[in-house]
Amino acid sequence: MLDRLLLSRFRNHRETVLEGAAQFNLLVGENGAGKTNVLEAISLLAPGRGLRRAALTDIPARDGTRRDEGAGFAVSADLLFRDAGTVRLGTGASADRPTRRLVQVNGAQASAASLAEWLSIGWLTPAMDRLFTESAGGRRRFLDRLVLALRPGHASHCARLENALRERNRMLCDPRTPDPWWLDAIELQIAEAGSAVAQARSELIERLEAVLATLPDSPFARPRLTYRPGGPIEAEPLAADLREGRARERAAQRTLIGPHRDEIEVTMASKGQAAAECSTGEQKAMLIALVLAHSHLLESNGETRPRLLLLDEVAAHLDPVRREALFDRLRQGAAQVWLTGTETAPFAPILGEAAVWRVENGTVARS
């Protein structure tokens, strides 16, 4: 598990150290104290832009009301392994190159994608309550994080797909006729990476559905998932469709088929109602059911990497019955859990076994 965490110049945390973590880890403090900032720092130990999807230049600590010009930041974590001892992961940005993300594993330079080989991280935040009503892009990102927990290489495929799509769209927007040979090469990259991404998403949806089918409809509303691909999920048919659609997509000045157009439809199983039309309470319950099903899938898959689950202000929006059920399910799992709250009362069932920190104005003290 994650045992020690260091935040340096990270948002409102000048120098924060958390040591001696447990299975349950609770951050308590007023709104704006810096609790979610700690969760965000942990989330940056995974590939991607973290739970806030913030730009690197928005993260360094502020002096008063102004952000430090050209400042960097750092996050460091020690992971304890039974056989390998301690592994130290680090990420951040330097003052001289504030837009370039730096990653280290045991002091050696590494790629952001390689972080997935050491650690699996998932999260639920209040902003995700809009997951079922926002754009399909948010649901794709959510699904990709779940895939990443099972397939560390998924981050590389997503990055390759994104880069190739960006290059093809640039060529489609160019008033000059693109070189067909170069388009062929770019489309082959899209097809190969896109097929890997789409097949991984499809497989995960199928496996999640199998787990969800075994769960009761209460206390958490059970979701039903359907994967709607944005194009062929095999490489050759996808490459052929891209080649045939050049004229139409050149007129649209963007790529119209491929995994970047995937949709994940979610319905409430007991009602057969689209998740977007359900109440906010039902949507929250379905999100929790999805996270718990994913955790069960990881454990049945024999996952050996440390797993972290970051739950921001989750307990406050659940009634006592659902809170107890959530804590009981988490207690039975193997993931290390980090939770935030404005008071300890909602966490009474786990206080006796949790590591508790009081957060105030960017400082953290063990309670």
Convert the pLDDT of each residue in 251-303 to its tens digit.
999 999 999 999 999 999 999 999 999 998 889 899 999 998 998 888 887 77
CB atoms within 10 A of CB 102: 16
**Quick check: is 241 in a domain?**
yes
Whole-number Å distance between alpha carbons of 167 and 187: 10
Does the pLDDT at position 65 exceed 70?
no
Name the pTM for this structure: 0.87
| Strands 85-93, 73-81: pairing kind | antiparallel
Least confident window among 81-90, 124-133, 172-181: 81-90
In a domain, 255, yes or no: yes
- The 10s digit of each residue's pLDDT in 174-199 is 998 888 999 999 999 999 999 999 99
The whole-chain average pLDDT of the chain stands at 91
Q: What is the CATH number of the domain that holds 156?
A: 1.20.1050.90
pLDDT surpasses 70 at 62: no
Alpha-carbon distance 203 to 62, whole Å? 44
Q: Is residue 305 part of a domain?
A: no
At residue 334 the predicted structure's pLDDT band, cuts being 50, 70 and 90, is confident
Q: Output the pLDDT for position 19.
A: 93
Instruction: Give the ranges where the chain is alpha helix by DSSP (H).
Output: 35-43, 136-150, 154-173, 180-212, 235-244, 246-252, 280-300, 320-332
Range of the domain at 156: 135-280
Count how many domains the chain has: 1
- Residue 175, amino acid: P
Whether the pLDDT of residue 209 is over 90: the answer is yes
Give me the percent of the chain exceeding a pLDDT of 90.
73
Instruction: Identify whether 338 is part of a domain.
Output: no
Residue 64 has a pLDDT of 47
Position 31 in a domain: no
* Residue 258 forms part of a structural domain: yes
Evaluate whether residue 46 is within a structural domain: no
Euclidean distance between CA atoms 99 and 365, whole angstroms: 31
Question: Does residue 187 lie within any of the structural domains?
Answer: yes
Is the confidence at residue 148, as pLDDT, over 60?
yes
